[in-house]
Structures are given as structure tokens and as C-alpha cells.
Structure 1
Amino acid sequence: MFTGIIETLGVVKTLNREQDNLHITINSSLANELKIDQSVSHNGICLTVVNIGDEEYTVTAIKETIEKTNIGDLKVNDIVNIERAMKLGDRLDGHIVQGHVDEIAECIEAKETNGSWLFTFKYSNNSINLTIEKGSITVNGVSLTVVNSKKNEFSVAIIPYTFEHTNFNTFSKGSIVNLEFDVIGKYVSKLNTVRN
């Protein structure tokens, strides 16, 4: 489980395909603190550490993860949002994030607004997922509050700190991001669907 509060950024060093799997080696200041078999969120995707080197570590994404997220679009030198799993007893500064990406979305607008930034994202018209005004959403692993919630579209307002310390500063119109919708909202929506 994660909180959506990004700890640091990593840089993709190598990408190696092996059959249907993708092995990703990342340079990060957290590398020396990690352990083999530890879960770490990368742009909101929970992946397991399989190897650790000097200031670098490797994780593996399987076919389903590659097909349902933007991880297959990564390139060497891309910047990745990184968060280790939360410790039991820590403050939950963001919201409950599982690291299980629901779908991808496209950035359809990115604009500066007097010291902050407003990003608007559009996701599948066939999606059963939804957002609500002032509800929680995770974009590339970052816990955020929804503004301007519409059908299959929403915006988030980004403060300077978040813009500078996550990969939001690399987003532009057309950028593809990972979305994880609020887990409580997903359960309520599913319960409502089952009852009808």
C-alpha cells in the first residue's frame, strides 16, 4: 500500500525485454536503502525489486502490466516518480493507493495559472471508472484532488512543490499517464452496479 506522496525521482538507465517481460533498471538515491523482493511504486505501478547495484536497482514488469499502463512507453533517461510502500503506523498524508493502475489517460491541457499549474486528463469513454469533485485520484503515482470532474475527464491543480519534485514538469498535451481511481469509490461503484 502507498500514499501517493512521491519520495524521489528516478532515471531509467536500461530497458531489457525478455520474452513478455520488461526489466527496468533505475538510478535512484533510494537504491541503497531497498531490498530484494520489496514493493516500490514507479509512476503509480507497484513493481518488485529483483536486483540492486550501486545506486541502481531493477524491477520487472509482466505482459499485463505493460498492456494496461504506460510503462511500455518508457525510454532510457525518462524520469520516474518513486515511492516506497508505507510503513504501518505512518501518517497517511495522501490517500490509500494500491499501486494497481486502472487505466491510462491522455493529457489534453497543461497550463500555468499564476504560480500553479492546471492539468486536464481524458480517459476511455468506455470506462466504468469515475471521478468526483474534490475526490482523490492518483496520476503517475501522485495523490491529487480532482477539480472540474466531468464524464471521462478531470483536472488537477498542481502546486509548485509537486511540479518541481515529480515528473509533472515533463507533461505536455498528449502525454500518457497512469491513473488509479480512489479505491473506496471503486468499491461503492461496484456495490451499486451489483445491486442494480
Structure 2
Amino acid sequence: MFTGIIEELGVVTKLEREQKNLHLTIKANFTSQLKIDQSVAHNGVCLTVVNIDGEEYTVTAIDETLSKTNLGEIKKGDIINLERGMQMGARLDGHIVQGHVDQTALCTAVTEKKGSWEFSFEYDPDMQNITIEKGSITINGVSLTVVNSKKNSFSVAIIPYTFEHTNFKNIKKGTRVNLEFDVIGKYVKRLTELQ
């Protein structure tokens, strides 16, 4: 379980293919605090730590994860958003995030708004995920509030702190991002489908 509040940015230092799996080695300041078998969200994707070596740790993404997220497009040197699992009893500053990406979206526009930015995204409506105005969405692991919600598109407003402390500063028109839709909304939608 995560909150969508990014702890730090990691740097991809090594990518190694093994059959259909991809081992990602990440350099992060909190590596010394990690342990093997711990969950860490990488651009919103929950992956298990399988190796630790100094300031770097390794996680493995399987074929299904690579096909449903933007991790298959990651390159050595890329900056990714990192968050360790939520501690029980800690504040929930973002919203409930599972680290299970529902689908990807493409950035369709980045508009500077005199001190903030508006990022617009479009996603495949065939998967029947929904957003609602002022509802929660997780983009590359970042907990955000939806604005301009439409059938298969939406926007988010990004403050300068979020822009500087996440990989939003690297997102441009055409960039593919990971989306995790609000878990409560997903359960409500499923319940109404069963009636």
C-alpha cells in the first residue's frame, strides 16, 4: 500500500533482460534503508527488491508488468519516481494507492499557467476506467486531483514543488505514463455493474 507521495527520484543505472523479465537496477538515497523482499513503487508500479549493492538495488518486472506499464520503455539514465510502502499509523497525505497500474496514457498537452502547469492525458476508453472531477488519480506514482474529466481524457494541475521533485519535469507531449485509477471508484463502478 502506498500514498502517492513521492519520496525521491531514482536513477536507472542498469537494465538486464532475462527471458521475458527485465531487471532494473536503481540508485537511490534510501537504498541503505531497504531490505530484500521489500516493496517499492517505481513510477507507481509496486516491485519487490531482489538485490542490494551499496547505493543501488535491483527489482524485477515480469512480462505482464512490462506490457501494462511504461517500464518497458525505461532506459539507462532515466529518472523514476520512488515511494516505499506506507507505514501503519502514518499520515495518509495522498490517497490509497495499491501500486497496481491499470493502464497507460499519453500526454496530449503541457500548458504553463504562470506559476503552475496543466498536464493533459488521454487513455484507451476500451478498458472502461473512469475519472471524476476533483477525484484522485495516480500518474507515475504521484497522487493528484483530476480536473477537466472527460470520457477518456483528463488534466491535472501541477504545483512547482511537484514539478521539481517528481519526473513530471520530464513529461512532454507524447510521453507515456502509468495510471492507477482511484481504488474506491473502481469498487463502486464494479458494484454498480453487478446490479
Q: TM-score range by the shorter chain?
A: over 0.9
Between the aligned partners of 1:184 and 1:176, the Cα distance in structure 2 is 24
What value does the CA root-mean-square deviation take over the aligned residues?
0.5
Q: Deviations over 1:142-172 (max 9, x none)?
A: 0000000001000000000000000000000
- Partner residue in 1 for 2:161: 161
Q: Report the AA paired with residue 41 of structure 2.
A: S
- Partner residue in 1 for 2:111: 111
- What is the TM-score when the length of structure 1 is the normalising length? 0.99
Provide the identity percentage.
Answer: 68
Q: CA deviation at 1:22?
A: 0.4
- Partner residue in 1 for 2:18: 18
Q: Deviations over 1:57-85 (max 9, x none)?
A: 00000111011101000000000000000
Q: CA deviation at 1:194?
A: 1.1
Stretches (4+) displaced over 3 A? none
Q: Deviations over 1:67-110 (max 9, x none)?
A: 11010000000000000000000000000000000000000001
User: Secondary structure at 1:150's aligned position in 2?
Assistant: coil
Q: Report the AA paired with residue 139 of structure 1.
A: I
Between the aligned partners of 2:130 and 2:83, the Cα distance in structure 1 is 24
Matched, 1:87 2:87: yes
Q: Report the AA paired with residue 79 of structure 2.
A: I
- Partner residue in 2 for 1:143: 143
Between the aligned partners of 2:178 and 2:52, the Cα distance in structure 1 is 25
Count of paired positions: 195
Between the aligned partners of 1:17 and 1:111, the Cα distance in structure 2 is 37
User: Secondary structure at 1:126's aligned position in 2?
Assistant: helix
- Partner residue in 2 for 1:29: 29
Q: Which runs of 5+ in 2 are unaligned?
A: none
Matched, 1:39 2:39: yes
Q: CA deviation at 1:111?
A: 1.4
Q: CA deviation at 1:127?
A: 2.3
Whether contact under 8 Å (1:127, 1:152) holds in the other structure is: no
